[in-house]
Structure formats: C-alpha cells, structure tokens
Structure 1
C-alpha cells in the first residue's frame, strides 16, 4: 500500500535491525517537506516504542522501535536545515488529559503518558506541533512550548491548531489550540460543507458493496444490548466472543483473548455482520498452542494483579477463575466448564489470537516459553469464525445468559488490581 500511495509514509523511529537505520522501504521515509501556500512545512512520523507489544509479532520481525525524542530531533533539525519553517510531528503515541478548555493547564493530564515525556525532551522551538494518537484519548495542551493535540478515536472528532506565520522570516508568531471538534456531517463552523461530486462518484460503488456486507443478518436476535464497558470487569460481550473462539476450534480446551481488541458495544435487536465487525475490526487469526495448567494460572494471576497498561480483564472461555487472598499470597484456582479442577501439570490446548500468541499486550509473558503456535485448519480469521458460530447458533441471546449475579467466570476478592496484604 505504501508503494501505491501518492504521498510518502513516514517512519522516523522504525529501525531496520540489519542496517541500524530507519527502514528504507518503497515510498517510506523518516520525514518530508510539503509546501502550503508558500510555507515550507516539515513533517515527521513516529510510533510508540511499545509498538512491538501492540501488534502482531510476525509483522515486526527484524525491526526495533527507537525512542521518539532523538528520532524527532534528528529529523526536525534536518528539515530546518532544508528550509522548513514549520515542523509538525505525527505520532502514533499519545497522552490523556481530562480538561481541554485551557491549553496551559496540565493538571488534568496523565504525566506518565509517553507523549508528555517526548515533548519535554525536545530542544526548545524545534517542533511547532505534535499531532498525537494511539491512546484514543484527547489532548489540546501546550507542553514545553509545543502544542499537542489528540482527538479520541474512530473518526468521532478532529483536532485543529491555527498558526500565524511571518512570511518574510517564516517564524511562527502566534498559535491557537482548539479543543477537539466533533464531526458533524455536512457542516463546519455553522457553514454548509458541500460534498465533492467526483469523490462521491468514485466512492459510491465501494460504499454500496460495504453496506451490503454490513447489513447482512446473522439470524440472531439480541434481547438486550451487549455493552463493551471499560473492560475492567467481566462482560457478556467478552464472554460471547470467546465462546465463539472456543467453539470454532475442534479439540480446544480453553480460549482467551485481550480486552483491548473489543472496540464497540453490540446493540440490541437483529444482529448484523456490521455490528460484529465494529466490535472486532481486526483481521487477527485464530491460533492454537499448548500451555500447562501452571502457565495458564500465571497468566491469569498476572492479569488480576497487573498495574501497568494495558489492564483490561482477559476475555476467557472454557474455564472459571476463583482467586482468594491467603495472607499476602493470591491463590488462584482454575476450573473447567465441566467442573474439573485444572491441575498444574495438566496440558491444555489453548485458542487465542495471533496477536496475543505473538506477545501482544504482554498477555502471554508470565507463562514463559510455550509450545509451538499452530494454525487451525484454514487459518481462520477470528471475527469470521465468531460470525460463523453465531449463524449456526441462531436464536435469541441476552446478557444474563453469559453474565449474571450467580453466573460469572471471574471471582476475585477486590477490584483489580488485586493486592493481597
């Protein structure tokens, strides 16, 4: 896709291990300069240093994700030397602030977020703007003299910063940071926005095709919505998806995923393909591996006590968790759906996603070395497997079939993270 694009892809801190330099793929470069109404604007692209743990491991073999600030500094200085008078960083790394009405007020910001440290590590007046992302949160702050903006996720909002530039010197003489603006179809700043007819004509066949797939009924009626929630506690949605994962692989004992993969609620009413797609928009594939009962217990124990992001509770199927504090020790007992206790030395066939099996979100790290990761027949896409299971199941579903006061898969003594004293 990068080679096909009419614009460059920017990757300043994605390092090719074989050269020790930024990747040199077709149409991929660390930075570039564009001319905007006579103003040379330098653009730098970077991604979080946690990228390796945030994506499928097989996709980043041979790559290292270097610290952002040195990479930005290197490229920004080169851009300035090449005549750029405005430098903008586009970062797939972000922050989190709850108050957005005063750019100078940083009290509501999470100071530990990656982009905060990056901004403070940059030389003064080298960078004019950081357009952040990744955390799905919002920012409209000035940090160390650099405007940082971030506008949530899923296209719901956009960011805006206005610069006044002295044309003779190229110096930015004023800036104004706006709060994230909600997207309102057809209007902006109270003015009507007219769609471009040529663009609409190009898009129309693809939109029609997508809508046909999106509205396909699955033969399931949801008597209640299945909310995503904050994924800090068990949800019927998570249980539903992992039940589908487990049922899709013959001979599997248990299944688990990562809470961050579930992105939307399932609305009540007739269930469509599009609704499931919005819940799980990734093309991750189902994989299998072998764990001992002890390894699975370590994974679960870590998830219960984890304090470092991501902290979402794991979606699980095929077993339940009973955790209790015994003094300062957390005792975790896992029980199969059949009622049999999972022994420490017992070997289990696990179903998960290729993202999790490849090290994503650090879910598997507590297990240590695991068995070979293998693909079920056909190497099915996780979402499509769940869709097929739902079609076969049909009928009516509601939240209480999966989670209720007397029907839970997770039992633990206090809100997570569990700290036994």
Structure 2
C-alpha cells in the first residue's frame, strides 16, 4: 500500500476544513439576524478579513521539554527585573497553538526551518521521524528548510517530505511505514548544481474561502559553511533576497498578492527577553544582524517575514524598500515560544493592508508548562520513548551540579571545556592521534547538562540520552598538524573575517590559555603574546597536533585555517569521546564538578 503524496494530503485537509467552515457559516447565518455584525461572522462578505498567522522556528526535534537554560525564556518584569520562565515541549506547544486558533476561522501555521536536526535522542535516534509525525498532528501548514534539514543530506530531506522507511535501518516500528510530512517543505534558494532547479517546492499558496496567501521559503545562503560538506554535496544555495524577489513576482503573475517569506536567517535583538520592544525608540532600532539587511531589501510585495536560525526572540517592524513598516519575527527556539501575527486581508485588492503608520500586528507568546498537555502528543512521546529506552536510559556518568553549555552569555562555557577536554583525552595517545590541543565549536553544544533531569534516573545521573542531546551530530573527530602561526590564525578567525560581526568563540582544552580583548577590533582581539600552551608561549614555527570534530577540521563555521592541517588522522566520534570521558572522570560518590571556565581571559 502506497502512502498518499503529501501535496494531495494537504489539499484534502484544506478542502475538508473549507467544507466544515462553509457548513458552519450556513448555521451561523441562519442563527444571526439579517444585517447583524456578529463577532461570529466568518467574514465571507466583508471587504477585509483578519488572517491569523501562527509561527515558530528552530524546534530541533525538542518534543520533550528541553533541559536547563534551553528550557526557559527570559521575561522582563514591570519593575525592570528579569525572570526565567520554564517553557517548551510539544505537548504544550500543541495546546498553545490549538487554543490560539479558537475563534479564528482564518488561521495558518508556518515555520522557518530547523524543525529537525541536532535533535535529542528520542527523535534523533529515529532520524527525526517522530518530529515530522508530531508536526503533522500539530497542524503545521508549511515550513521553509533550515541548514539543519541538510545534516543528513538531500536524500534524507526528500524522505522527510515524501516518506518511506530509512534506506539503511528500515522501518522503526513493525507494521508502520513512515508517511512523511503532510506539509510542504519549501527550498526556493536551494538548487541542484546540475539542473539549476529547486530541490523542493519554492513556494506554496494557502487558500481559504477566496483568501490567498503565498509562502516563499528560503534558508541562509551561507548554509554550506555551517553544514558538513557531505550534507550539501551537489547543491547550490542562492541569495535570499534575489530568490524571494524572484518568486514574489511569479506569485504576483498568478494573482497572489499577499505574500509571507519564511526565512531561515535571523538577527540579534539588543535584549534577550522575549518581550523586549525591538522597535524602541524607532522601527527595528533594537535589532541587528543579517536579517535586517535582508528585510530592508526584500520587495514590498512581501507582507511579512518569519525568520529563524539565531534562536532569538523578536517581533520587530523594519521598513521595506518603500519605507513601509513590515513585521519581522522569530520565536526563539526549541518550541518555547510561538508568534501570533494578524494579517488583514483586503478581498478587493487581494493584498495585506499595510500603511506607513501600521503594519501587521505581531507578538511572541510563551509556551508555558502550566497549561494542560495535548494528549495525542503525550501518546506519541511515550510510544517513541519506549522504543528508545534501551539505549537512552543507560547511565554514562554523574555530575555534582548543572554544567551549562548554552545559557550563559559568557564566551567560555563550562560544558564547552568538558567537551574539548574529552576530545583531547580521546586523541592524546600517540596511536590515537597524539593531540596536544583540542577545540570545540560552540554551535555543536546543543544543550546544558542538568543536574536534576526531567527523567526518573535520579539527580546527578547523566544518561546516554542526555549526553546525546548535548552532542547529537555524532561527528567523527580528527587530529591534524598545525603550526603555531596557524593556531593563532585559527583563534583570530573567531573574531575576524566572516565571524567579525558575530564572533564564534571556540571552546578550548585544558592547558591552552589566551586573552580575548574586546576593546580592539578584528584579529587584533587575540594577541599572539597572550596565547600559551601549558604556560609556554605558542611558537609560530613549531608544529602542534590539534584535535576537533570533522566539521571544524573541514573549515566549518568559517575557520579556513583548519583546512591547512596536514597528516589528518580520524578518531572516535565526539559523542563516544564525551561519554567515555564522563565514565572515566565521575562516579556516584565522586561526581564531575563544573569546570571553572578560566581558560579565556576576556577584556571588555
């Protein structure tokens, strides 16, 4: 028996919904006196109708509530103080979205990429099939691809869309065949190098009772720099603005004048609070980063931008090229927030109403954990957890307190030090690579290690599942020869070149110390004289054995100095190195304590 193609399933779902709405409209019109302007009127005969756009981004398979700081959002209180609010978990996200949709006959749900990839073990172990299944139940209508949709390559992304069992591991549940996404994945700026054609649909049109809204989906043009080379092999990633503008014109030619761009690229608001006003003192003044330049250049034909990638929360208005305000939003990450945007659709012009003083209204809302859980999501999680339990629940170590890897604003993270030390220890033996220095990329640390976990294994116990959540990519490690001059260049590339605007500070292994002087600019922020290994100044002419995961060694995250490495030797996976380190350096009576994180001296 063949699975129904996703496009047809989507069409059936929308058709069925339209039929229900039409029937409902008939009942309401019969019950409402002639001429009455009832709040229950579906708006079929009004010139304008409010369309609710619900959106989120960067879920990364976090179906269960994320641990530690990854499971909270910062909320600024009336008195100016800040409060950490527990948030996230697909059981609560589903409840939030379903509650938000009530009373809104015109409601569409969209996402801006990275729904899968870098996922916790419960879904990552099964190549994110549970996440796609959850999104189907959630009622997601459309999403763009993100860079992490390419973690396992084009063929696997195609399987996520079309369905079918894993080509190597087969079906994960007896009698069940993965059916794929009921919603379209959009990849307008991702083309086949040979044919020049998009690998998935570039856009889709959402329709309801004569209302038409086009969605164009793109990911960041720089995706090849943040994904393994194998994951993007044979693909070309085009300019975001050029692509969006191209397909906006195509939609206009088809009579679709209301357009939303789903852009997996983002910005950095001036505050980490989800309720920060990034339009103070003026539109878009409180946000910086790549998305600002994109928003200012995307054609005015596009009425709103739903964004992601930076895992930040914002609901801003940034003027389009004509000077008209336009909403640019992001709902942080991991399902902790959702954005509710009101799009006022004019039936006569077939466009969204936007003026010089008003823009579609948007706000982020917390996916709080005090509300009831969605029962169908609970059942889904329990089902997949049962399959994952034999692997996930195995203890691999013990910790004495939380070891933060993401939450702190500090450049050096305690968990980053642990991971770098783990790779150094795994690759230090002469027959394993002879490593003297190890680096860990900050983006590869996907979670904190929480002392009090959500599971039942007991405080301080680190399970394999928790370790996997921290390092879900299972990258192989490698050791290469780099001269002292190349190591210095590597450190300087953290804060210069492509990383100058948004520094990527590598986590360093024990013995390596240096000063990061933020009062200076570019490469000068890392002074050669400050770099020492075991207390001895780095020798520019000397060769050192340097370890990292293969993503970094391949020049990922804009570190071209790594590509100059010689005598490469492949080691264990980063996850195996991490779990082995935890097992070797902790026990129930002597748990691992958080490192001091004193290897990088920061001058501000």
Query: How many correspondences in the alignment?
Result: 390
**Residues 1:259 and 2:442 aligned together:** yes
Give 1:298 shift: 2.2
Higher mean displacement: 95-104 or 310-319: 95-104
Q: Which has the higher strand share?
A: 1
Question: 2:510 & 2:264 partners in 1: Cα distance?
Answer: 36
Match of 1:73 in 2: 245
Q: 1:210 to 1:301 in 2, by over 3 A?
A: same
The offset of 1:88, in angstroms, is 1.5
Distance between the aligned counterparts of 2:247 and 2:267, measured in 1? 22
TM-score by length of 1: 0.80
2:352 aligned residue (172, 188, 191): 172
Matched, 1:64 2:236: yes
Q: In 1, distance between residues paired with 2:440 and 2:342?
A: 42
2:75 is matched with none
Is the 2:582–2:592 Cα contact (8 Å) retained in structure 1? Answer: no
Match of 1:84 among 253, 256, 267: 256
Q: 1:176 Cα shift? A: 4.4
Deviations 1:343-398 (A, max 9, x none): 333333322112212222223x246632254422xxx4312321132123332221
Residue 393 in structure 1 maps to residue 572 in structure 2: no
Deviation at 1:87, TM superposition (A): 1.4
Residue 50 (structure 2) aligns with: none
Note the alpha carbon deviations across 1:277-330, whole angstroms, 9 max, x for none. 3333333322232212221122124436787144243211253224599x9893
1:205 aligns with 2:412: no
| Unpaired runs of at least 5, structure 1 | 416-421
Work out the CA distance in 1 between the residues paired with 2:260 and 2:360.
15
CA contact under 8 A between 2:265 and 2:291: conserved in structure 1?
yes
2:462 is paired with a residue of what secondary structure? strand
For residues 180-219 of structure 1, the aligned pairs below 5 Å read 180-185=364-369, 187=371, 195-196=375-376, 201-210=379-388, 213-219=391-397
Aligned position for 2:508: 316
Specify the alignment match of 1:418 in structure 2. none
Verify: 1:272 aligned to 2:463, yes or no.
yes
Cα distance in structure 1, aligned partners of 2:531 and 2:290: 36
User: Among residues 330, 340, 352, which one is paired with 2:548 in the alignment?
Assistant: 352
The structure 1 residue matched to 2:570, chosen from 350, 363, 375, is 375
Offset of 1:256 from its aligned partner? 0.6
Gaps of 5+ in 2: 1-158, 164-179, 320-324, 452-459
| CA displacement at 1:275 relative to structure 2 | 3.2
Shift of 1:51: 1.6
- What is the 5 A alignment of 1:2-13? 2-4=161-163, 5=180, 6-13=182-189
1:90/1:226 Cα in 2 relative to 1: closer, same or farther (>3 Å)? same
The answer (yes or no) to whether the contact 2:262–2:307 under 8 Å persists in 1 is: yes
Instruction: Describe the shift of the 1:411–1:202 C-alpha distance in structure 2 as closer, same or farther (beyond 3 A).
Output: closer
Q: Kindly state the Cα deviation for residue 157 of structure 1 after the two structures are TM-superposed.
A: 0.6
1:242 aligns with 2:420: yes
Q: Which residue does the alignment assign to 2:332?
A: 152
SS across alignment from 2:363: coil
Cα–Cα, structure 1 residues 103 and 37, in superposed 2: closer, same or farther, change >3 Å?
A: farther
Does the alignment pair 1:403 with 2:596? yes
Larger relative helix fraction: 2
Shift of 1:239: 1.3
